[in-house]
Amino acid sequence: MAPRIDPAERAAFDRDGYVIRRNALPPELLDAVRNEIATVPRPVWQMRQGQTVNRVIPLPPRNDGSAIAALARWARSPSVRDLVGYAAGRSGHIVTSLQTVAVDPAAGDADPQADLHADTFHPTAKFWLFLNKVGPEDGPFSYVPGSHILTPERLAWEHEEARNAATKGNRHHAAGSFRLPESELSALGYGPLQMFPVEGNTLVVADTYGFHKRTPSQVSTIRTSLYGVLRRNPFVPWNGLDALDLPVLRHRTMRTHLAMEDRRAKTGKPIVYENAGVILAETPPKPPGI
């Protein structure tokens, strides 16, 4: 995949584990998307993690003439797909959606996504197209540059954590998304964590095998971005050839998952995302317990 990547972006990713692309969308599309998010209600599912409400808004499965459908087409363009595939170590189906993150520092316990962590034991790509400015006080993305590179110290640490993760008392850690205190980064051969406030219309693509987190918000914030994940089975011995990337299935993965959540909710089974109805993406969430 390397020849298909802009050389400067490839060098930045190889060194740091992430790429930041500014002015990612054409201005007219950016304006149309912002306006549509602010004025057009859509089906929304959400979960609460402490002081943070995370909302998912599926993208249209076909071209319906909306700005959001045009945004979905942009996310499938080669310049985006190739970069995300390169960051993930293999190409394939990218699960994309609109993501709204609403944080009220006084509304609950700490957000577990604000703990420094790695998502998996293998390369996995995530991207965020931040539509509006995210300042230092707004909970920006933070990443440890170079932590996507496996060091001998990291390998030994992962082996030990894998042996004892279930007894650590943290369900995310036990599930394989290992948490790490920032004070221990140097022992694994890495430098310090860096925070990345961005201007609006900035695309951030990262290998989330590297250590990262959402910086805790200092003020109440609510923002919507285009969000994508490429996480394939690391034991599949080929690149590409992903059945979920067929046009008939491409934008139905998230919708199918959320429909299954609705069915589970009706039978009283535990769910992650609850159906919040048809609302504006940035409707202020209800306080916990209401």
Q: For 263-290, how does the pLDDT look when each residue is reduced to its tens digit (9 = 90+)?
A: 999 999 999 999 999 999 999 988 776 5
Task: Kindly report the length of the chain.
Answer: 290
- Does any domain span residue 284? no
Distance of CA 259 to the CA centre of its chain: 21
Please give the pLDDT value at position 290: 59
Q: Is residue 285 part of a domain?
A: no
| pLDDT tens sequence across 68-116 | 999 999 999 999 999 999 999 999 999 999 999 999 988 777 788 889 9
Amino acid identity, residue 245? D
Chain mean position to CA 210? 13
287 part of a folded domain: no
Number of domains present in the structure of the chain: 1
54 is a domain residue: yes
Q: How far apart are CA 86 and CA 116, in angstroms?
A: 23
Rounded mean pLDDT of 129-142? 95
Model confidence over 221-247: pLDDT tens digits?
Answer: 999 999 999 999 999 888 888 888 888
Going by pLDDT thresholds of 50, 70 and 90, the confidence category of residue 6 is very high
CATH number at residue 195: 2.60.120.620
Does any domain span residue 166?
yes
Between helix 7-16 and helix 78-88 the angle, nearest 10°, is 30
Give the pLDDT of residue 112: 82
| pTM check: above 0.75 | yes
Distance CA 53, CA 28 (A): 30
Give the domain extent around 190: 2-279
pLDDT over 70 for what percent of the chain? Answer: 99
The answer to the question of residue 7 being in a domain is yes
- 290 lies in some domain: no
205 closest CA partner among 132, 96, 117: 96
In a domain, 289, yes or no: no
